[in-house]
Chain A
Amino acid sequence: MEELVRVVEEEGEGNKGEGYKNPIVVAGLPDVGLVGTIAVSYIVEKLEMRTEKEKCREIGYIESDLFPPVMVIHEGRLKSPFRIYGNESVVVVLSEAAVPPNAVYPLTRALADWFKRIGARLVIPITGLPVAKRIEISKPEVFAVGNSEEAVRWLKEKQVEVLEEGFIAGSYALMLRECGKRRTNAISLLAQCFPVYPDPGAAASAIESLEQFLNLGIDVGELLEKGEEIKLKARDLMRQTALSAPEMQKGVEQDIPIMYR
Chain B
Amino acid sequence: MSFFKKHKRKLPKMPKAENINKEESSPNAEKENNKLVKDWENELSKSNDYKKTFYFNQKSGKKFTFTYIPTLIEEKVLDNNALPNLLEDDFYQISDVKKLLPIADVEVSTNKDDIPIKLLQGYVLVTLEGDRSGFAFFSAQKAVVRSVSAPEIEFSVIGPKEAFVESIGQNMNLIRKRLPIEELIAEEFTVGKLSKTKVNVIYIDGITNEQIVNTVKQRINDIEKDEIADSSYFTQIISDNGHSPFPQLLDTERPDRVASSLAEGKVAILVDGSPHALLGPTTLPEFFNSFEDYYINWILASFIRLIRLFAVIFSIMITPIYVAIVTHHYELIPKDLLVTLVTSRRVVPFPPILEALFLEVAIELLREAGSRLPTKVGQTIGIVGGIVLGTASVEAGLTSNVLLIFVALSALASFTTPVYQMSNTIRILRFPFLFMAELWGLLGITIAFCFIITHLLRLTSLGQPFMEPVFPLRVNDFKDALIRLPFQNQAKRPIFLRTKDSTRFSSQKAHKKKDIDE
Mutual binders A and B: no
Q: Which residues of B contact A (CB under 8 A)?
A: none
Q: Which residues of A contact B (CB under 8 A)?
A: none
